[in-house]
């Protein structure tokens, strides 16, 4: 048995973790460390193994092999000493729907043995104080999602696992939730987070691991991943202004693709290409995009962007 790190060591240490379901290698040799206070993102396509990995960290699933250390302890076999230190986002289907939001949280707090003001504090943290008296059934999707996060926080855990908390939220609700998550980080919580929204990961996460087929393809801060990725600039020219042939003929254009109705010109030398586009098609409505985490992600997961043609 490897030595257990001290309680003020990293929040999570995974070493060569494997988990298969029959012939499916859901987690295929993952090693990573999450520091205390870190906002750590797990990204990857559907079926990449993110939920399985989170469940292993939470102690809900047993790894086939490898070592899992969470807050200095082994989460499996089910470690009851660890549970109060972990915040696990409740699925909205697990709510006490006939209760009000406040009563739901008071019930959760009582189950955890949290203090009398825990429910009110959790409501305030996620900006739900004014909805405390609303029945869970009557809350909007965005507010239910906040309640799910409040349920994960009510007992003041050290480490919070959030699995796609902003899925199914409208853009405004998503942005509002970002602020809640930023505040949690500022308060020193460690957050392990999965999302399919790359902009979200770029905006929130200190580091992200991009998981593909149960393995880590890349692990670093979004900024460093972007800097190390493609230095390509994309110019998006509205439809009907430039033919693909004319675009390909511009010196410095490496690839031309289509996106919606427009043309996407990829270049390593955007200045002269922009000047040529200005001359041929005018610049009105032309957009310039430098690399984002999404580009790095698409590159690593092999899903490609637009339909570039050489
Ligand atoms: N209980 C299970 N029994 C059998 N196969 C499973 C089980 N849970 C997950 N899998 C399979 O393991 C692989 C990884 O699934 P997992 O849910 O961990 O991926 P994910 O990255 O969280 O995907 P998503 O983004 O869709 O939630 C998939 O091929 C999935 O079908």
Domains of the chain: 12-226 (3.40.50.300), 231-290 (3.30.70.100)
More confident residue, 151 or 173: 151
Q: Is 52 in the pocket of ligand 1 (CB under 6 A)?
A: yes
The answer on pLDDT for 231 being more than 90 is no
CA of 234 to the centre of ligand 1 (A): 34
Is the sign of the CA dihedral 45, 48, 51, 53 positive or negative? negative
Buried b (16+ CB within 10 A) or exposed e, 23-45: eebbbbebebbbebebbbbbbbb
How high is the mean pLDDT of the chain? 89
Render pLDDT for 98-129 as a digit per residue (tens, 0 to 9).
899 999 999 999 988 898 899 999 999 888 99
Q: Is 91 in the pocket of ligand 1 (CB under 6 A)?
A: no
Q: Is 48 in the pocket of ligand 1 (CB under 6 A)?
A: yes
pLDDT of residue 93: 61
Identify the H or E element spanning 236. Answer: strand 233-237
Q: Is 50 in the pocket of ligand 1 (CB under 6 A)?
A: yes
Q: Is 46 in the pocket of ligand 1 (CB under 6 A)?
A: yes
Is the sign of the CA dihedral 259, 264, 266, 269 positive or negative? negative
CA of 215 to the centre of ligand 1 (A): 13
| pTM for the whole structure | 0.82
Give me the percent of the chain exceeding a pLDDT of 70: 94
- The whole-number average pLDDT for the span 238-258 is 94
pLDDT of residue 7: 54
C-alpha 159/C-alpha 170 separation (Å) is 27
CA of 33 to the centre of ligand 1 (A): 22
Q: Measured from the CA of 48, which atom of ligand 1 is nearest? A: 21
C-alpha 206/C-alpha 106 separation (Å) is 32
The answer on pLDDT for 197 being more than 60 is yes
pLDDT of residue 4: 45
* Residues 76, 59 contacting (CB under 8 angstroms): yes
The answer on pLDDT for 308 being more than 50 is no
> Residue 309 burial by CB count (10 A; 0-12/13-18/19+): exposed, middle or buried?
exposed
pLDDT of residue 1: 42
Q: What are phi and psi of 237, to 5 degrees?
A: -105, 125
Render pLDDT for 32-78 as a digit per residue (tens, 0 to 9).
999 999 999 999 999 999 999 999 999 999 999 999 999 999 999 88
Q: Is 271 in the pocket of ligand 1 (CB under 6 A)?
A: no
C-alpha 277/C-alpha 237 separation (Å) is 8
CA of 85 to the centre of ligand 1 (A): 26
* Residues 297, 305 contacting (CB under 8 angstroms): no
Distance set, CA 12 to CA 3, 68, 214, 286 (Å): 14, 8, 18, 45
């Amino acid at each position: 048995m490897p030595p257990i790190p001290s309680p003020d060591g990293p929040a999570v240490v995974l070493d060569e973790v494997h988990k298969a379901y029959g012939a499916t290698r859901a987690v295929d040799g993952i090693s990573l460390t999450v520091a205390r206070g870190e906002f750590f993102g797990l990204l990857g396509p559907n079926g990449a193994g993110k939920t399985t990995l989170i469940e292993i960290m939470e102690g809900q699933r047993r790894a086939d092999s490898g070592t899992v250390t969470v807050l200095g302890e082994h989460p499996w076999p089910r470690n009851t000493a660890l549970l109060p230190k972990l915040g696990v986002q409740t699925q909205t289907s697990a709510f006490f729907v006939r209760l009000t939001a406040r009563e739901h949280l008071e019930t959760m707090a009582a189950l955890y043995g949290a203090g009398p003001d825990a429910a009110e504090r959790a409501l305030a943290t996620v900006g739900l104080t004014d909805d405390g008296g609303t029945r869970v059934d009557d809350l909007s999707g965005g507010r239910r999602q906040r309640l799910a996060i409040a349920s994960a926080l009510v007992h003041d855990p050290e480490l919070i696992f959030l699995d796609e908390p902003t899925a199914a939220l409208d853009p405004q609700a998503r942005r509002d939730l970002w602020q809640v998550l930023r505040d949690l980080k500022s308060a020193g919580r460690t957050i392990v987070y999965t999302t399919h929204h790359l902009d979200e990961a770029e905006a929130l996460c200190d580091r992200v691991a991009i998981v593909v087929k149960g393995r880590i393809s890349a692990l670093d801060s979004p900024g460093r991943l972007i800097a190390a990725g493609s230095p390509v600039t994309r110019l998006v020219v509205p439809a009907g202004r430039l033919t693909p042939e004319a675009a390909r003929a511009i010196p410095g254009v490496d690839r031309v693709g289509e996106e919606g109705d427009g043309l996407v010109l990829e270049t390593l030398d955007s200045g002269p290409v922009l000047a040529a586009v200005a001359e041929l098609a005018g610049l009105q409505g032309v957009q310039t995009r430098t690399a984002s985490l999404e580009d790095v992600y698409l590159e690593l997961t092999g899903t490609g962007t637009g339909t570039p043609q050489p």
